[in-house]
């Protein structure tokens, strides 16, 4: 129906041009634009076209019809119709077909007055394989009636103007493949559902839909993120997503397209090529680590300007905050210790080269109060003594009251001497009173305390082994499972608390 109306209208003004040029079109479009002039009755032809068919785009141009522009439009339209090999340009103009025409496609794209009045008869536009550069050619979207748009195999860049596609309700075929668009934003996922991934192959906009990190399989295996993914996940590194920064590192909370929240540590440092290679090697090791008490390493990214490490986003509560907050009971503390030791054992057995920081501020807590070791790196194979020492300090921090911990300032040796001078009653006073330690628990806590002291004792040449630490903590942890009810009974009858 529409086609019929349009073609008859089209027919009404094409002869004007044709009548000026006996042999179809006389010259190149540029020459015609320069040399042809409106016939004297052009004004009335256009007005009567608009009376018959007010939906023609040029009829609604405001405030007044720009006859000069409309005339230029008719010249370009008749050339483009002919270039697109439409069968009968006097009657109909169904397609713009400039595929494989790098010499003229950019020129036609530049005639904004043509696209502004885009003939309603055009149903498909093909501008593929023309090496065209620059921003997305938004002018073609004036042709809101089109059913098919192919811009594949060009070098268009920048954002795809996704909002501008919503008026194109009849568009069923779209191909933006093989371009250099920016990675699209999470909020645009509706658009990417409207057209499937074969419309965006190697377009830059969409890398892979199957995985949270949307990486091509080759990059997926090596856990490599592209700068564009990070840019999209942080809305172009906007301050809204920045959660912490220092001179060398910026920390972002990013959101991948599938909604996964991630922590992105960006290092804006300029390191030599060798160190880059080392960084990549280390990232490959870290990406293989897998333990429930280790923050999940999701991937890495490098570019000329920065290095980045991407890990899972966790709750921001660390053990230090947890301890100083509600004063958790002993069995909860044991659960945390158990998780930390289990993770230490996993790393020692499978990844001895991985070094980590055990520290009440660097151990985070998951939603179900599982500890997460969050600072780790590929380091020194021979750091076992330091790791045991670190655990000892952590263990003592988990048990002793804040007051006593200040004694640490005197150094380990002084602290150990100080602890040894204490009798049992004194010792009870040192324990974080909010644990509400009962007699039964006190026995466990005392064992844990002496384990902690052994771990930090530098004068002791054979420190407890990790296996021994694991067994001690595991035993206490198992016993504590049976405790809560016993604990209650005990408390009701004889509340022995260390006040
Ligand atoms: C019209 O199209 C034909 C076939 O595509 C072409 O040979 C001819 O040069 C075109 N004429 C003009 C004036 O563009
Ligand atoms: C022709 O144009 C003039 C001004 O440009 C306008 O006043 C007049 O109404 C137009 N004539 C017709 C027949 O539309
Ligand atoms: C793209 O155009 C070039 C010539 O400009 C041609 O050799 C090539 O086959 C075309 N590719 C496709 C996919 O049409
Ligand atoms: C889509 O097609 C329908 C039916 O041909 C038509 O009524 C409607 O105007 C078209 N939509 C646009 C945006 O051109
Ligand atoms: C994408 O959609 C087209 C039809 O529009 C279909 O032929 C093709 O198989 C689909 N491809 C994928 C990967 O879903
Ligand atoms: C888009 O174009 C590319 C390159 O020619 C092709 O591989 C892909 O299948 C096309 N997609 C669709 C949806 O036709
Ligand atoms: C604990 O972590 C903080 C913050 O990273 C760090 O400054 C401090 O040196 C760490 N303490 C120990 C004993 O490792």
Q: Exposure string (b/e) for 295-326, b if CB count within 10 Å is 16 or more?
A: bbbbbbbbeeebbbbbbbbbeeebbeebbeee
pLDDT less than 70: residues of the chain: 1-26, 62, 185-189, 206-222, 258-259, 382, 403-405, 407-412, 424, 482-499
Q: Are 94 and 122 in contact (CB under 8 A)?
A: yes
At residue 220, the pLDDT reads 61
Please, are residues 293 and 370 in contact by the beta-carbon 8 Å criterion?
A: yes
E strand intervals along 137-259: 148-150, 155-158, 173-175, 180-181, 242-245, 249-255
Kindly give the pairing relationship between strand 124-126 and strand 95-97. Answer: parallel
Partners of 481 in the β-ladder: none
Distance 43 CA to ligand 2 centre (A): 6
Q: Which fold has domain 123-208?
A: 3.80.10
Segments making up each domain of the chain, as ranges: 1-96, 123-208, 222-312, 321-480
The 10s digit of each residue's pLDDT in 369-415 is 899 999 888 887 767 888 898 898 899 888 887 766 676 666 667 77
Q: What is the pLDDT of residue 99?
A: 97
Q: pLDDT at position 461, please?
A: 73
The domain made up of 321-480 is a member of CATH 1.10.510.10 = yes
Q: What pLDDT sits at residue 195? A: 83
Residues having CB within 6 Å of any atom of ligand 4: 144-145, 167, 169-170
Burial of 72 (0-12, 13-18, 19+ CB in 10 A): buried
Distance CA 470, CA 486 (A): 25
Please give the Cα distance from 202 to 200 (Å, whole number): 6
Cβ of 5 closer than 6 Å to ligand 5, yes or no, is: no
CA distance 228 to 226: 5
Residue 40: CB within 6 Å of ligand 2? no
Q: Which residues pair with 155 in a beta bridge?
A: 133
pLDDT of residue 497: 32
Among 389, 405, 377, 409, smallest CA distance to 451 is for 389
Within 10 Å of residue 451's Cβ, how many Cβ atoms?
A: 20
Query: What confidence tens digit (pLDDT) does each residue in 233-292 have?
Result: 898 899 999 999 988 899 999 987 766 789 999 998 777 878 888 888 889 889 889 999
Identify the burial level of 252 via C-beta atoms within 10 angstroms of its C-beta, where 0-12 means exposed, 13-18 middle and 19 or more buried: buried
* Ligand with minimal distance to 121 CA: 4
Chain centroid offset of residue 61 CA: 43
Q: Quick one: which atom of ligand 1 is closest to the CA of 26?
A: 13
Residue 49: which of 69, 30, 65, 62 has the closest Cα? 65
SS3 content of the chain, % helix, strand, coil (to 5): 45, 15, 40
CATH 3.40.50.410 fits 222-312, yes or no: no
- Please state, in angstroms and as integers, the Cα–Cα distance from residue 243 to each residue in 238, 253, 270, 311, following that order: 11, 6, 22, 14
Q: Whose CA is nearest to atom 9 of ligand 3?
A: 100
Mutation choice for ligand 6 from 156, 173, 175, 195, CB with most ligand atoms inside 8 A:
175
Query: Residue 43: its pLDDT value, please?
Result: 86
CA 333 to chain centre: 34
- CA-nearest of 488, 484, 448 to 469 is 448
In angstroms, the CA 481 to CA 465 distance is 25
Residue 223 and residue 176: Cα distance in Å, rounded? Answer: 26
Query: Which ligand number lies closest to the CA of residue 179?
Result: 6
């Amino acid at each position: 129906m529409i086609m019929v109306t349009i073609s008859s209208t089209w027919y009404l003004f094409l002869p004007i041009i044709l009548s000026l040029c006996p042999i179809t079109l006389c010259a190149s479009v540029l020459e015609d634009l320069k040399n042809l002039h409106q016939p004297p009755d052009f004004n009335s032809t256009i007005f009567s076209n608009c009376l018959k068919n007010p939906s023609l785009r040029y009829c609604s141009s405001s405030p007044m019809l720009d006859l000069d522009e409309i005339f230029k439009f008719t010249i370009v339209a008749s050339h483009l119709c002919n270039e697109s090999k439409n069968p009968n340009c006097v009657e109909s103009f169904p397609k713009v077909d400039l595929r494989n025409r790098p010499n003229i496609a950019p020129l036609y794209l530049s005639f904004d007055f043509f696209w502004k009045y885009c003939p309603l008869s055009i149903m498909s536009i093909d501008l593929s394989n023309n090496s065209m550069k620059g921003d997305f050619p938004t002018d073609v979207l004036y042709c809101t009636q089109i059913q098919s748009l192919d811009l594949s195999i060009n070098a268009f860049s920048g954002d795809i103007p996704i909002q501008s596609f919503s008026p194109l309700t009849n568009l069923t075929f779209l191909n933006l493949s093989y371009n250099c668009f920016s990675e699209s934003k999470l909020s645009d996922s509706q658009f990417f559902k409207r057209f499937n991934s074969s419309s965006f192959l190697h377009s830059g906009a969409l890398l892979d839909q199957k995985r949270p990190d949307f990486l091509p399989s080759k990059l997926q295996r090596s856990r490599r993120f592209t700068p564009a993914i990070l840019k999209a996940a942080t809305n172009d590194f906007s301050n809204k997503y920045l959660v912490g920064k220092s001179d060398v590192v910026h920390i972002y909370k990013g959101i991948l397209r599938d909604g996964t929240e991630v922590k992105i540590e960006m290092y804006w440092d300029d390191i030599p090529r060798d160190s880059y290679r080392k960084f990549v090697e280390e990232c490959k090791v870290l990406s293989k680590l897998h333990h429930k008490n280790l923050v999940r390493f999701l991937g890495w990214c490098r570019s000329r300007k920065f290095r980045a490490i991407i890990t899972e986003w966790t709750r921001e509560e660390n053990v230090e905050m947890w301890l100083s907050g509600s004063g958790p009971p002993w069995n909860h503390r044991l659960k945390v210790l158990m998780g930390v030791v289990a993770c230490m054992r996993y790393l020692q057995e499978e990844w001895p080269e991985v070094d980590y920081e055990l520290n009440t501020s660097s151990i985070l807590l998951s939603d179900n109060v599982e500890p997460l070791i969050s600072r780790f790196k590929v380091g020194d194979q021979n750091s076992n003594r330091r790791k045991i020492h670190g655990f000892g300090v952590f263990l003592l921090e988990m048990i002793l009251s804040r007051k006593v911990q200040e004694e640490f300032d005197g150094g380990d040796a002084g602290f150990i001497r100080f602890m040894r001078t204490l009798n049992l009653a004194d010792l009870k006073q040192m324990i974080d009173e909010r644990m509400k330690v009962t007699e039964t628990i006190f026995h466990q806590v005392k064992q844990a305390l002496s384990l902690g002291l052994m771990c930090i004792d530098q004068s002791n040449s054979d420190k407890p082994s990790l296996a021994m630490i694991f067994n001690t903590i595991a035993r206490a942890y198992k016993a504590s499972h049976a405790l809560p009810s016993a604990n209650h009974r005990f408390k009701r009858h004889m509340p022995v608390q260390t006040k």
